[in-house]
Structure 1
Amino acid sequence: MGLFGWGKRSAARKEAALPKPVMIQHRTYDDPVLDAAVAEVSEGSLQAGLTVLAECREDPETRTLRAAVLGKTAIGHSDELTTIAEQAEDPDLWLLVGEARIQEAWAIRGSGSGASVGADRAKLFHSTLRRAVEPLHRSAKLLPKDAAPWVSLMPVARGLNVDREQHDDLWRKIIDRAPMLYPAHWQRLQYLAAKWGGSEEEMLAFAHGCVDKSTPGNPLVAMLPLAHFETYLPRFRKLLEERSPLKIATLQVRHFAKVAEELAEAADRWQTGPEPHVRDYEAHNLFAAAFCMAMDKDRAKIHLDGMGDRLHGIPWAYLGADVLEEYHQRSAKYR
C-alpha cells in the first residue's frame, strides 16, 4: 500500500543516508522483521507495517515496541494515514495513526525541560497530542483486549497534564490487559516523577514495587535504575546551572554508589531468567550506566556487553550533552 509518493529514494541515496556507526542508536531491539517493515514504510509502502502489527496482536510487548518504532518512521504523514484509516477501519492502522501523531507532538516539544518550551510551541504540542486521542480510542474499540492503544495514550495523558484520577483509570485499563508490560511501567514511572508533578518518594516506591513483582528474566526490574536516574537528573542540572564542578563530581560519585547494593540485587533477580525479552537491550543500558556511575566495574561490564552495541538515549543523555560521547567516556573505564 503506497502513501502518495512518500519515500522513493534511489538505492545510492539510501545507502549514503545510512552510515554504519560503531554503536547503533535509537534501535534497542532485535527484530529483523520490524527493521524490514521500517524500510518499507520509509519508502512509502504501508502494508509491511500493518502486517507486522497484525501478527503480534497477542504479544503486547512486541506490539507496543513495533507500534512506537513504526509511528516514529511515519512522522509527518499522520494525515495521509488518517485518510486511509477512514476507509479501512483497521485497528492496526488506527494505532499507527495515533502513534505517528504522538511522535509528531513530542518532536515539536523537544526533549528539554518544560521551562525550555515556549508558549507557541507548547500550544502546538498540546493540539497535536489531542489529535492522537480519537485514533487510539478507535483502535481500542476495534480490538478491545489490546493493551497497545492504552499504552500509547499514557504519554498523551502526561503531555496534556491530565489529573491523577484519569491517569489511574488509564493505568488500570492497561494492567487488566497486560499486567507486566514494560513500556506501560516506564510511562507510569515518568508520570510519577517530580518533573511531571509527582514526587521522588512515590516514584521510587513504584520502582521498588516493580522489582518485587518481577519474575526471573523479566527486565521490569530496570525501573529501579530508571528511577534513580530520574532523581539524579534534576540534581545534575541544578549543579550545571550553578557551575559547580566539585559538587557535580561529588554527585556523580555518590548518587549511584549509595544504591549500588539494591541495584545489584535487582539485576541478579532479572538475569536468572532463561528467555530473552524484547526490552532486554533497554534494561541493559540502564543497568550498565548505573553501574558505571557506581564504579562497579564487574557489573558494568556484564551490562555493557549485554547492550549488544545498541545505545538508548535514556539514560546516557542524562549523564552529559552527547549520548554517544557520554557512553564512550563511561564504558571505556569499565570494559
Structure 2
Amino acid sequence: MSHPATGSLPPPDFEIASAFPEADWLRRAATARDWDAIRDYVGGLPYGTDRSFAVRQLGEVAGIEEWLRGIVAAAPRDVLALTVLGAREVQIGWGIRTTARAEHVSREQFAGLHAHLRQAEQLLIRATALDPAFDAAWAERLTTAMGLQLGQNESRRRYDQLAKHHPHHFTGQARLLQKLCPKWGGSWEAAHAFTRECMLAAPEGALNGGLVAEVHMEHRHSVPSKDREAYLRQDHVRAELVEAAERSVLHPRFHRGYGWVTVQGYFAALFSLMGDLPRAAACFRGLGNLASEYPWAELGADPAETYIRHRDTALARG
C-alpha cells in the first residue's frame, strides 16, 4: 500500500469544529444570545448523546455569563441554563487558577478558583435536583468536586449518580479518572482499575478504551523523564494498550463520538513513544490531520511540531 510522502501532509488541525462543526454553531448562537435555539438544539439531541460536549462549548464563550444570569433569574427551573452557567463559572475559576502545578499557584489564585467553583456548585446542585438524569450537570459536578477537594468518596458518589442513567458516559469517566490519580489524592491502583472496568463494561468500538491510554500517559508523565521510555516498554503496559486500542480506535466498529480525536491521539502518541510504529501509523491515518491539545501539549512545547514529528516518523516507518 502506498502512502503520501510525509512532507506533503497538511499540518495538524486543532480546531474542534473541524471534527464537530456543531461546535462553531453553538459558539455563534451563544454570541448572538439565541437561547431558544440553543435549548432546542440540546433538547433535540438523541438520548445517550454526551451533552457535556455542547455544554463545554457554550461554557467557553466569554461573556455568556452576563446574560445567562438573567435567563436563570427569569427561569430558575431551566436545567440547561443552570448547567451552562455553572460550566461557565467553572471555566472562569480555572482560568484564574491556570493549569500550573499547585506549588506555582498563588493563594489569591486559589481563592478566585474556589469562589467561582462554589457559585458553580449552587447552580449545578439545583440542576441535578431538578433533573437527576441530566448528564452534563453531573459531569460538571465532578469537576467542582475535584477543584474544591471534596474527597474521593464524594467524587465517586457523584459519578455513581451519573452512571445510574449513563453507565458509559465518557466525559464523566474521564473526569473521575483525573480525581483517581495520585495528583488529586488517589492512587495508580485505583486509576488503572477504574479505566479497565470502564473499558470492559462498554460495548466494543466505544471510546471508553481510551481511558486506558489516558491513565498510562498520566502514569508515564509522573515518573522521572529518564524512566519514561522504560515505563512504556513494560510487557503489561504494552499488552493493556494493545487490548484497549483493539477494543476502541482499532476496532472495526469504532464510534467517532465526542472526544474521539483526543482518544485516537493518545493511542497514536503512546504507540509512537513505545516504538510500535505500525499501530501508531494506523492511528495517525485514522486521524487524518485532526488533532486536539492533549496529548500533544504534554509531549512538547510546540504541540503542532510534536504531532508532525511523531506522525511523520510513524507513517514513514510504520
Normalised to the residue count of structure 2, the TM-score between the two structures is: 0.87
CA distance in 2, matches of 1:39, 1:28: 12
Counterpart pick for 1:299 among 279, 282, 287: 279
SS in 2 for 1:309: coil
CA distance in 1, matches of 2:213, 2:255: 21
What is the aligned residue count? 301
Contact 1:94 1:139 in 2 (8 A): yes
Specify whether residues 28 and 180 from structure 1 end up closer, same or farther in structure 2 by C-alpha distance, changes over 3 A only.
farther
CA distance in 2, matches of 1:35, 1:150: 24
Counterpart of 2:244, as a letter, is: A
CA distance in 2, matches of 1:46, 1:66: 13
Identity %: 24
Equivalent residue runs for 1:313-328 within 5 Å: 313-328=293-308
Partner of 2:269: 289
Equivalent residue runs for 1:216-255 within 5 Å: 216-236=204-224, 239=225, 247=226, 251-255=227-231
Normalised to the residue count of structure 1, the TM-score between the two structures is: 0.83
CA distance in 2, matches of 1:253, 1:234: 12
Partner of 2:23: 34
Contact 1:29 1:279 in 2 (8 A): no
CA distance in 1, matches of 2:44, 2:11: 32
1:83 aligns to 2:61 (yes or no): no
Partner of 1:7: none
Partner of 1:53: 42
SS in 1 for 2:267: helix
Contact 1:257 1:293 in 2 (8 A): no
Q: Deviations over 1:110-162 (max 9, x none)?
A: 11211111111111011111111122122223333222201111011000000
CA distance in 1, matches of 2:99, 2:92: 13
CA distance in 1, matches of 2:159, 2:231: 30
Partner of 1:6: none
CA distance in 2, matches of 1:192, 1:178: 20
CA distance in 1, matches of 2:27, 2:145: 27
Q: CA deviation at 1:26?
A: 5.2
CA distance in 2, matches of 1:181, 1:208: 14
CA distance in 2, matches of 1:100, 1:34: 16
Specify whether residues 56 and 134 from structure 1 end up closer, same or farther in structure 2 by C-alpha distance, changes over 3 A only.
farther
Q: Deviations over 1:55-107 (max 9, x none)?
A: 2273341x11111111112x343243112221023211111101111111111
1:22 aligns to 2:8 (yes or no): no
Contact 1:25 1:312 in 2 (8 A): yes
Q: Deviations over 1:197-216 (max 9, x none)?
A: 11112111212222222321
Q: CA deviation at 1:252?
A: 4.3
Specify whether residues 326 and 252 from structure 1 end up closer, same or farther in structure 2 by C-alpha distance, changes over 3 A only.
farther
Counterpart of 1:255, as a letter, is: Y
Q: CA deviation at 1:290?
A: 0.8
Specify whether residues 34 and 110 from structure 1 end up closer, same or farther in structure 2 by C-alpha distance, changes over 3 A only.
same
Q: Deviations over 1:219-242 (max 9, x none)?
A: 100111100111111225xx4xxx
SS in 2 for 1:310: coil
Partner of 1:173: 161
Counterpart of 1:223, as a letter, is: L
Contact 1:60 1:146 in 2 (8 A): no
Contact 1:28 1:311 in 2 (8 A): no
1:332 aligns to 2:308 (yes or no): no
Contact 2:207 2:254 in 1 (8 A): no
In angstroms, what is the RMSD of aligned CA positions? Answer: 2.1
Counterpart pick for 1:159 among 147, 170, 185: 147
CA distance in 2, matches of 1:167, 1:29: 33
- For structure 2, which runs of at least 5 residues remain unmatched after alignment? 1-9
SS in 2 for 1:123: helix
Counterpart pick for 1:311 among 288, 291, 313: 291
Partner of 1:17: none
1:266 aligns to 2:255 (yes or no): no
